[in-house]
């Protein structure tokens, strides 16, 4: 069984949205035993992705 954690990341900038903190978040979660599983756009504005959720998973004991 797996547990999942979702971390929102908000982009910065105009016309070319930039995400700055994603690498640090992925590295920190990896040190805590989480595995990066993917991302999902959660907010669009003017056709650009301005917020995403990073998805992490960790195997847990079901008991």
What pLDDT, on a 0 to 100 scale, did the predictor assign at position 27? 95
Average pLDDT over residues 20-29: 90
In angstroms, the CA 45 to CA 47 distance is 5
Mean of pLDDT values over 40-63: 90
Say what the pTM is.
0.82
């Amino acid at each position: 069984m797996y547990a999942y954690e979702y971390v929102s990341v908000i982009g910065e900038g105009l016309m070319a949205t930039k995400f700055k903190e994603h690498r640090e978040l992925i590295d920190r979660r990896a040190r805590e035993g989480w595995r990066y599983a993917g991302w999902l756009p959660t907010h669009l504005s003017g056709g650009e992705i301005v917020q995403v959720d990073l998805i992490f998973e960790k195997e847990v004991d079901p008991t």
